[in-house]
Structure 1
Amino acid sequence: MRRHGWSGDIPRSDEEAAERILGAARRAIDGGQPATVSTIAQSLGVTRQTVYRYFPTQEALLAATALSAIGGFLDRLADQLGAIDDPTQAVVEGIVYTLEQLSQDRYLRLVVEPGKASAFTAGVTSDMAIGFGRSILERFDIDWAAAGFGGEKLDGLAEFMLRTLQSFIVDPGGPDRRGDGLREYLDDWIAPAIRSRAGTTTRR
C-alpha cells in the first residue's frame, strides 16, 4: 500500500483503504453528488491513481459502492420475509420484494438496473451478480443444503432467480404485473421449476 496522501491519515491496510474509498463514494451518493474517481480522490486527499489502484474503473468503483451499501435492502428483506422456510416461496417473494424496493432504494437500483455500474453489467453469471443473488437467498431462514440446493446448486438457483428478475427489470411488458398479480404469475410459472428441483440430486 502506498504510504502518502490520505490527508496525513494513512490507512493501516489495503482493506481499510478500500473501505475509506467506498465510504467516500457512499457519502457523495447520499448527498446527491457525483461519485466520480476525481471527486472521491479529492475528498480523501489522494490521487486518482490511488483510487484506481483499488478500483480500476469508474464502473468498478460504483458497482462496489452499491454492493457495499446494499445491506439496508437485505436487512429489510430479512425483517419482512426472513421467516419464510419454503424454498419455492422464498424465490417468488425474493423476486417480488426486490422489484417492489427498486423505487425506494438508490443503491439497489445501482446494483440491478441496466447501467455501467450494475451487478448485471458482466451478465447474471458474473461473480458479482451471483454473490448478490446468494445474498438474497441466504437472508431467508432456510437450510438450503438440506432443501437440496447446496454448493453449486444454490449458485444455479441464484442465477435462475436473477435471470427472471432481470427480465422484469429490462422489459416489464404487459399486463403490468405487480403485487399479488406478479405473485400469481410467478406461482404459475416459476414455482413449479423450483419445486421440481428441491430435494433432488444432480446427475450428469
Structure 2
Amino acid sequence: MRRHGWAGNIPVDDDEAVSRIVAAARASIDARGTVSVSEVATELGITRQTVYRYFPTLDALLTGTALSAVGGFLDRLAQDLASITDPAEAVVEGIAYTLEQLPHDRYLGLVMQPGKASAFAAGVTSDVAISFGRSILERLNVDWAGAGFSGQSLDELVEFMLRTLQSFILDPGGPDRHRGELRAFLHRWVAPAVELHHRSGFPEQA
C-alpha cells in the first residue's frame, strides 16, 4: 500500500483503505444521492488514482458500496419472508421481493437499477453477485439441503435466480408486471424448475 496522502492519517492496511473509501462513498450517497470518484478522493485527501487502485471503475466503487450496505435489505427480506419454507415459493418471493425493493433501496438501486447496464448486470455470475444471491437464500427459512439443494446444485440455483433478476433489470419493459402479476408469471415459469429438482432429487454433479 502506498504511504502518502490520506490527509496524514495513513490506513494500516489495504482492508482499512477499502473500508474508508466505501465509508466516504456511502456518506456522499446519503448526503446527495450520488457519488463520484473525485468526491471520494477529495474527502479522503487522496488522488483519484489511489481510489482506482482499489476500485478500478466507478461501477466497481458503486458495487462495493452497495454490497457493504445490503445487511438492512437482507434483514427486511428475512423478516417479510419468514413464513415461507417451500423452496419454489421462496425462490419466487426472493426474486419478486428484490425487484420490488430496488426503487426504495438507495444502495441496491445504484447497481441494480432497471434498464442500467450496471456492474451487477454485466457480472451477474461474479463471486460478488453469487455471494449476494447466496445471502438471499440463506436468510430464508428453507431447508435447502433437505430439499435437494446443496453444493453445486445450490450454486446453480443462485445463478438461476441472478440470471432471472438480470433479465428484469436490463429490460424492465412490457408487459409491465407488478405484485400479483409478477408472482403469477414467476410461479408459471420459474417455480416449476425448482419443484422439478426438489421432487426428483437429482444427484449432485461432479
TM-score surpassing 0.5? yes
Counterparts of 2:129 and 2:205 in 1: how far apart (Å)? 26
Report if aligned partners of 2:151, 2:204 keep a CA contact under 8 Å in 1: no
2:129 counterpart residue number: 129
Q: What is the percentage of aligned positions where both structures have the same residue?
A: 61
Deviation at 1:62, TM superposition (A): 1.5
Q: State the superposition RMSD in angstroms.
A: 2.0
Q: Say whether residues 1:201 and 2:190 are aligned partners.
A: no
Report if aligned partners of 2:62, 2:111 keep a CA contact under 8 Å in 1: no
Report if aligned partners of 2:99, 2:165 keep a CA contact under 8 Å in 1: yes
1:52 counterpart residue number: 52
2:90 counterpart residue number: 90
Amino acid at match of 1:156: E
Amino acid at match of 2:203: T
The superposition leaves residues 165-190 of structure 1 with CA deviations (integer Å, 9 ceiling, x where unpaired) of 22223334444321122222221221
Equivalenced residues, count:
203
TM-score by length of 2: 0.89
Amino acid at match of 1:112: M
Deviation at 1:20, TM superposition (A): 0.5
Equivalent residue runs for 1:28-177 within 5 Å: 28-32=28-32, 34-113=34-113, 114-115=115-116, 117-122=118-123, 124-177=124-177
TM-score by length of 1: 0.89
- Inter-CA distance 73–49: structure 2 relative to 1 (3 Å threshold): same
Q: Say whether residues 1:2 and 2:2 are aligned partners.
A: yes
The superposition leaves residues 54-75 of structure 1 with CA deviations (integer Å, 9 ceiling, x where unpaired) of 1122221112111112222111
- Inter-CA distance 129–44: structure 2 relative to 1 (3 Å threshold): same
Query: Please, which runs of 5 or more residues in structure 1 have no aligned partner?
Result: none
Deviation at 1:117, TM superposition (A): 4.1
Partner secondary structure for residue 31 of structure 1: helix
Amino acid at match of 1:107: Y
Report if aligned partners of 2:133, 2:162 keep a CA contact under 8 Å in 1: yes
- Inter-CA distance 175–65: structure 2 relative to 1 (3 Å threshold): same
Give structure 1 regions of 4+ aligned residues with deviation exceeding 4 angstroms: none
- Inter-CA distance 35–146: structure 2 relative to 1 (3 Å threshold): same
- Inter-CA distance 5–175: structure 2 relative to 1 (3 Å threshold): closer
Counterparts of 1:203 and 1:152 in 2: how far apart (Å)? 7
Query: Please, which runs of 5 or more residues in structure 2 have no aligned partner?
Result: none
Counterparts of 2:27 and 2:171 in 1: how far apart (Å)? 32
Deviation at 1:196, TM superposition (A): 0.7
Report if aligned partners of 1:6, 1:46 keep a CA contact under 8 Å in 2: yes
Bigger RCO (CA 8 Å, 6+ sep): 2
Deviates more, 1:20-29 or 1:70-79: 70-79
Deviation at 1:25, TM superposition (A): 0.4
The superposition leaves residues 107-153 of structure 1 with CA deviations (integer Å, 9 ceiling, x where unpaired) of 1222323545431223x222222222112111112232232111221
Partner secondary structure for residue 107 of structure 2: helix
Counterparts of 1:125 and 1:119 in 2: how far apart (Å)? 9
Counterparts of 1:151 and 1:173 in 2: how far apart (Å)? 35
